[in-house]
Amino acid sequence: MAHSIAIIGASGYTGAELIRLIATHPNMHITALAANSKAGLPMAQVFPNLRHLDLPDLVTWEQIDYASIDLCFCALPHKTSQDVISKLPRDLKIVDLSADFRLRDPDAYAKWYGNPHTASDVQAEAVYGLTEFNRSEIAKARVVAGTGCNAATGQYILRPLIEAGVIDLDDIILDLKCAVSGAGRSLKENLLHAELSEGYNAYAVGGTHRHLGEFDQELSQIAGREVKIQFTPHLVPANRGILATAYLKGDAEKIGAALMAAYEQEPFIQVLPFGETPSTHHVRGSNFCHIGWTADRIEGRTIVVAGLDNLTKGSSGQALQNANLMLGEEETAGLMLVPCFP
Amino acid sequence: MAHSIAIIGASGYTGAELIRLIATHPNMHITALAANSKAGLPMAQVFPNLRHLDLPDLVTWEQIDYASIDLCFCALPHKTSQDVISKLPRDLKIVDLSADFRLRDPDAYAKWYGNPHTASDVQAEAVYGLTEFNRSEIAKARVVAGTGCNAATGQYILRPLIEAGVIDLDDIILDLKCAVSGAGRSLKENLLHAELSEGYNAYAVGGTHRHLGEFDQELSQIAGREVKIQFTPHLVPANRGILATAYLKGDAEKIGAALMAAYEQEPFIQVLPFGETPSTHHVRGSNFCHIGWTADRIEGRTIVVAGLDNLTKGSSGQALQNANLMLGEEETAGLMLVPCFP
Amino acid sequence: MAHSIAIIGASGYTGAELIRLIATHPNMHITALAANSKAGLPMAQVFPNLRHLDLPDLVTWEQIDYASIDLCFCALPHKTSQDVISKLPRDLKIVDLSADFRLRDPDAYAKWYGNPHTASDVQAEAVYGLTEFNRSEIAKARVVAGTGCNAATGQYILRPLIEAGVIDLDDIILDLKCAVSGAGRSLKENLLHAELSEGYNAYAVGGTHRHLGEFDQELSQIAGREVKIQFTPHLVPANRGILATAYLKGDAEKIGAALMAAYEQEPFIQVLPFGETPSTHHVRGSNFCHIGWTADRIEGRTIVVAGLDNLTKGSSGQALQNANLMLGEEETAGLMLVPCFP
Amino acid sequence: MAHSIAIIGASGYTGAELIRLIATHPNMHITALAANSKAGLPMAQVFPNLRHLDLPDLVTWEQIDYASIDLCFCALPHKTSQDVISKLPRDLKIVDLSADFRLRDPDAYAKWYGNPHTASDVQAEAVYGLTEFNRSEIAKARVVAGTGCNAATGQYILRPLIEAGVIDLDDIILDLKCAVSGAGRSLKENLLHAELSEGYNAYAVGGTHRHLGEFDQELSQIAGREVKIQFTPHLVPANRGILATAYLKGDAEKIGAALMAAYEQEPFIQVLPFGETPSTHHVRGSNFCHIGWTADRIEGRTIVVAGLDNLTKGSSGQALQNANLMLGEEETAGLMLVPCFP
């Protein structure tokens, strides 16, 4: 029988992306959709691309009967997310897509997000949701914290290399190019078509982007020592996609071997043949991540480039992959959509 | 058991789109892929978005063992298509995506396409593939001729209205806005990003676009008299989508009623609530067509707007829908992908 | 000596476009820039593309010393514009870019804009600013009302044809494709890059767009009888440009001759050789308007297509052209920028 | 009296950009335009955006009467350029926009471009055209070699820092994001709108991009030792613009001070206030370069970001700036166009 699913925060892009994916899932049924600011509206009005689906109208999250829900996705903004989740039943399985349960240290959370954490009891239960590296914990978890989309992309490059000990931990540079849907459906001047199209720019330069909290936590844990990377995101005029270019000190062959070994059995992470480089267009709308690596002309330096779709593999696809594990479903169910090119 | 499928012309956009759709089809298996100019290459090299699929390498169409094929999609350019299809086994089921078998009158073909038709025997077998209006013939056909993508969009508006007798047949204007993938993967200056992006223009102005041959044939047949419409396509800076705006003389309520009656049971054609208008973004990557209608401020005039994805509903999705009918499959199999927005 | 110029509403796109143009004007000096919501800010912060210019900081419009100003551009939203302009000195030359003084009939204004006009005394002085057709009145005017950008594009097609009596006045259809900057720098969901890019749609369908008020007024006056056109605008994913496709009943040769006669001496309106069609990309960032015409395959029907840049010829360029006339400057001063392609 | 100007290679984007700029130059007149593949055509047909200009029709370069020419721009592909220039009169002033005369060492040329240099006598005369750093030599030169557009952008960041000795020379990383017009008007699959739009990718990864030849030559010369940088270009879906992000080891305050000192008097290079970052959209269509710098959270590391328009400051604008110096004109003549935003 199909699992009964609720989505809180269904009026944003990650909420809509969850619905798009779940619509092709053989064993999930969407029972409730919540978005407090748009409660009462049919989804066809909020996302006309979902018009043909038989979906419940939007309600407030308080109106959902959680007793009938097997798993709840929470796609709210950070801070709101912890407020809501702390009030949900304590036996409800939750996949949270916000930043609220990613950082295990409440001080780190307060530092990066500017507000104290008010649900540290829930935090204590939460498992970090980078599926490929936390499968067994995720399968057993009640609450899974979805990763940042930039943090996911960078970690797909860096985790196997740190684990294999093949790169210099003190000189890791990550230059990211991010499409605009990563910023959500928010009304900001720099997200307007007229401002963004035909232009691109760096932002959060100098190590101020919040996803660095995740990088610090995860990479240091793997390395067994503090690892601080340099990370500069750039906004580019496209709707979907993250391309991460990593500048690393280490031998290209060893780096390539570590990547191939790590991802050989993975259904979604594809290491490209030597010398090929990924394009975000080739993973658009899918749960795949393409990774390419190349030796630099300077001895001992290697460039690794990874591309994924921020809304799918970087967010809602990851969330569904984790939900599949939590519900005992096939991990790839609902996620084998072919990238939509062109 | 899965049907064994071949695709000839697999290195173009409609070929790749067929593969994208068939990859999620429960009962089809791609046995052979042909593209003579790229024979020998793996598909991952020609379309990196298909990298994760287990696909046969490209061969020439002559190399395919047609005895093992249940149905062959032919996604070649016109003229080449008739040459190739006339040499294929005469009992092979074929869905042709080219223009070669759309026009029943060889003189009309020669007039619009500039070359004489050399496979009129095959033409005599071909059924015009606008699924919603030719289901039973398509189900029995050996050869189905896919429609032009513009012709499909326009006919979704016009056919029910002509059949219902609710519009003036002498004053039909169709203004189309077409994304660039409709022109295929061809190396033409006006298709370059630098030329097209940030600009849009009319082309084939004045009634010279070849899809008018289809409009003339089909609309006249329905009307039982000659119907000639005005049709001006425009190229807009987007990858996928056709938006057709029809300026009609006729009563809006009758027109709306005729559209709703025609499409009430259709899985893919969605008539929008009164006053809403479609966006190509809301059907992107899917087999859906959205249609909206509005009364003009001038009494007795109505505007109908239809949007679909030229590569899916306008071409490869239609082809798969027809193939499903020809093979006795569920008509919607492999086609319920949710539009990818944003 | 340079004319002293003020711009009220300098934080929007038309304000910034005025500054871009005036920066190359030989005889104008920007003395004051007002934008009440951003008063106190340097322009470099509001529009970083103007960083290198030596511009005054933004003030409120009340802070400007109008005694020192020779001409004031007013680029405010409608309604606000009439409030402000009615409080400005009654001998100040003003070019208004809003909709507030375009309609001579206060009832028509109230009908199309939904609020009563509160400055009908100023309205009585205002000259309709479609330069090519009102030169002598504009040169003598104290207040010039800039036209709507869509209304300008359509009138460049229709005015000469109505004057020459070569088209059927009861069957005029104008299908417009508009870039997003025409909607201004406003924070609306449908103007976000993620919503607009890769999609396009009709809006204000059925004769509800406010620029119809201008069409009705101007075309009826020329014709000496009521003329009501059909006009459907579409939003396309580009930053600048309007492309108008007119479907007309009339002889193509006569229509072409009327256009060529009307614009033969015009510096900015270029009638293309027979059969060529304009692209908005070819007039981007300039004050030029390209017009092409073609006979339809149906006898007695003609298609005329016009393209211009909504921010330049459709708005700020027109305003500067009018200001040049009002100040006795060369009409083309500051306006001969070459279109920026690609 | 106006200088008489010829442009060879006028059918490409840099040729057209030269014409766009020269059209507003007070003291230049275009006497001849050559493009052998399109000889005989009017420019209005090759670049409709130049339609209003009174330009000579295209001829072959052999047909130009060089005796009447004061300065010749050569915008041909590399290799062709040296063939042609070696046959031009030896007293003709030339600004070459190709790669053929940038590298002083013929072996370096052969290594990076794959063919031997056949005009080393002309090479011996050529001055490297990065205006801000070679003014006096350029003013006296007969032949000036325009720089690579990527090489220019990177050098605007790096030259002052190497001269000031404030960065580690062994650890310079340059991550570039380049718009598509940098690849020229060439018919390549990856430059099609359908391929590029909605995607971005790295190319020439690992130190294989030809502009590295220029970086090696110039930076080593300044440093007085070999300097080899890492440089990875990325293609992004936009028409104009280069954004360079430099990852440097050095103190941010010293780096900022060195940049400000170097460019304080420069008309086109604008160092942004601390913490601001450039966008390519803010310099679009202009000769300006915006540079921002920020300290990384890791002590002793600094990020510098520079943005310019590849066709203007990166190519044709630079060429005109150099021509102004060579002809004794005001260096900024024809170059003060305001960036076109949005």
Are residues A285 and A222 located together in one domain of the fold? yes
Chains that touch C (3 or more CB pairs under 8 A): A, B, D
Of D207, D240, D243, the CB nearest to A296: D207
The angle formed by the CA atoms of residues D246, D251 and D257, to the nearest 5 degrees, is 85
Q: Would residue D336 count as lying in a domain? A: no
* Cα atoms in the Cβ-side hemisphere of radius 13 Å centred on C209: 26
Q: Count structural domains, chain A.
A: 2
Q: β-pairing, A230-235 with A173-178? A: parallel
Same domain, D68 and D167: no
- Inspect the interface and report whether the beta carbons of C243 and B202 lie closer than 8 Å: yes
- The CA–CA distances, whole Å, from A309 to A180, A236, A288, A317, B208 equal 11, 14, 8, 9, 41
Q: Is B317 helix (H, G, I), strand (E, B) or coil?
A: helix
Q: Is residue C342 part of a domain?
A: no
| Cβ <8 Å between C201 and B278 | yes
**B180 and B36 in one domain?**
no
Our CA-based measurement puts residue A111 at a distance from the nearest CA of chain B, in whole angstroms, of 32
Chain pair B-D, CB pairs under 8 angstroms: 56
Q: What is the dihedral of CA C156, C160, C162, C163, to 10 degrees?
A: 140
Task: For residue D289, indicate whether it is catalytic.
Answer: no
Is residue A334 domain-resident? Answer: no
Query: Does residue A1 carry a pLDDT above 90?
Result: no
CA atoms within 13 A on the CB side of A176: 33
pLDDT of amino acid D276 = 93
What is the SS3 assignment for D262? helix
* pLDDT at residue number A52: 97
Q: Do D78 and D198 have their domain in common?
A: no
* C-alpha pair distances (Å), B329 with each of B26, B27, B121, D333: 10, 8, 28, 70
Residue C332 covered by a domain: no
**Contact predicate C210/C112, CB 8 Å:** yes
Same-domain status, C302 and C169: yes
**A183 and A300 co-located in one domain:** yes
Strand duo D201-202 + D230-235: pairing: antiparallel
The C-alpha atoms of residue B130 and residue B145 are separated, in whole angstroms, by 9
Nearest CA in chain A to B277: A48
Mean pLDDT value across chain C: 97
pLDDT tens per residue across all 342 residues of chain B: 799 999 999 999 999 999 999 999 999 999 999 999 999 999 999 999 999 999 999 999 999 999 999 999 999 999 999 999 999 999 999 999 999 999 999 999 999 999 999 999 999 999 999 999 999 999 999 999 999 999 999 999 999 999 999 999 999 999 999 999 999 999 999 999 999 999 999 999 999 999 999 999 999 999 999 999 999 999 999 999 999 999 999 999 999 999 999 999 999 999 999 889 999 999 999 999 999 999 999 999 999 999 999 999 999 999 999 999 999 999 999 999 999 999
Same domain, yes or no: A29 and A167: no
Cα–Cα nearest to B233, from B212, B249, B218 = B212
Question: β-pairing, B71-74 with B3-8?
Answer: parallel
Residues B298 and B317 in one domain: no
| SS3 per residue for B75-125 | CCCCCHHHHHHCCCCCCCEEEECCCCCCCCCHHHHHHHHCCCCCCHHHHHH
- Cross-chain CB nearest to D341 (options C16, C52, C281): C16
Which CATH number goes with the domain that contains C137? 3.40.50.720
pLDDT band (50, 70, 90) for residue C41: very high
- pLDDT of amino acid C275: 83
Instruction: Please give the order of strands across the beta sheet that includes B28-34.
Output: B58-59, B28-34, B3-8, B71-74, B93-96, B143-145, B127-128
How many helices (H) and strands (E) would you count in chain A? 11, 14
User: Residue D265 domain-assigned?
Assistant: yes
Helix (H) or strand (E) holding B235: strand B230-235
SS3 at position C12: coil
Task: Supply the DSSP string of A23-85, one letter for each residue.
Answer: TT-TTEEEEEEE-GGGTT--HHHH-GGGTTS--PPEE-GGG--GGG-SEEEE-PPTTHHHHHH
C206-243 per-position pLDDT tens digit: 999 999 999 999 999 999 999 999 999 999 999 999 99
Q: What is the DSSP letter of B11?
A: T
Q: Is D220 within 8 Å of D227 (Cβ atoms)?
A: yes
Position C1 pLDDT exceeds 80: no
The pLDDT > 90 percentage for chain C reads 99
* Helix-helix angle A252-263:A149-164, to 10 degrees: 110
In a domain, D331, yes or no: no
Residues of B in contact with C251 (CB under 8 A): none
Contact status of B181 with chain A (Cβ, < 8 Å): yes
Query: What backbone phi and psi angles, to 5 degrees, belong to C341?
Result: -130, 135
CB contact B217 to D (< 8 Å): no
pLDDT (average), residues A57-67: 98
Record the tokens describing residue B121, joined without a space: 């025997």
Cα(D320)–Cα(D33) distance, integer angstroms: 16
User: Cβ of B193 and D187 within 8 Å?
Assistant: no
Residues C303 and C164 in one domain: yes
CB contact under 8 A, B194 and D181: yes
Residues in D closer than 8 angstroms to C270, CB to CB, are: 51-52
Angle, helices C131-140 vs C317-326, to 10°: value is 40
Residue A177's SS3 state is: strand
Q: Is 80 exceeded by the pLDDT of residue C38?
A: yes
Q: Which residues pair with D3 in a beta bridge?
A: D28
| C224-243 residues touching A, CB cutoff 8 A | 237-239
Interchain proximity C238–B237, CB inside 8 Å: yes
Domain hosting residue C121, numbered range:
3-147+313-326
| Three-point CA angle A301, D252, C40, nearest 5° | 130
Tokens of A107: 């001080």
Tell me the H-state helices in chain A.
13-22, 43-46, 80-85, 106-113, 120-125, 135-140, 149-164, 193-196, 211-223, 252-263, 317-326
Do B220 and B140 share a structural domain?
no
Residues D31 and D115 reside in one and the same domain:
yes
Check whether residue D266 and residue D320 sit in a common domain: no
Report if residue A24 sits inside a domain.
Answer: yes
* B194/chain D closest Cα distance in angstroms: 5
pLDDT, mean of residues A144-166 = 98
Asked if the structure places residue B223 within a domain, the reply is yes
Residue B240: CA count within 13 A, CB half-sphere = 29
pLDDT tens across the length of chain D (342 residues): 799 999 999 999 999 999 999 999 999 999 999 999 999 999 999 999 999 999 999 999 999 999 999 999 999 999 999 999 999 999 999 999 999 999 999 999 999 999 999 999 999 999 999 999 999 999 999 999 999 999 999 999 999 999 999 999 999 999 999 999 999 999 999 999 999 999 999 999 999 999 999 999 999 999 999 999 999 999 999 999 999 999 999 999 999 999 999 999 999 999 999 889 999 999 999 999 999 999 999 999 999 999 999 999 999 999 999 999 999 999 999 999 999 999
What confidence score (pLDDT) does residue A275 get?
83
Query: D221-230: long-range contacts at Cβ-Cβ below 8 A with a sequence spacing of 24 or more?
Result: D222/D159, D222/D162, D222/D163, D223/D162, D223/D169, D225/D169, D227/D162, D227/D169, D227/D172, D228/A297, D228/A298, D229/D154, D229/D158, D229/D172, D229/D173, D229/D174, D230/A247, D230/A296, D230/A298, D230/A301, D230/A303, D230/D172, D230/D173, D230/D174
Which CATH number is C265's domain given? Answer: 3.30.360.10
Q: How far is CA A4 from the centre of its chain?
A: 23
Judged by a CB distance cut-off of 8 A, whether residue D209 touches chain A is no
Pairing label, strands C93-96, C71-74: parallel
Order of strands across the sheet that contains D201-202: D201-202, D230-235, D173-178, D242-249, D301-308, D289-295, D269-271
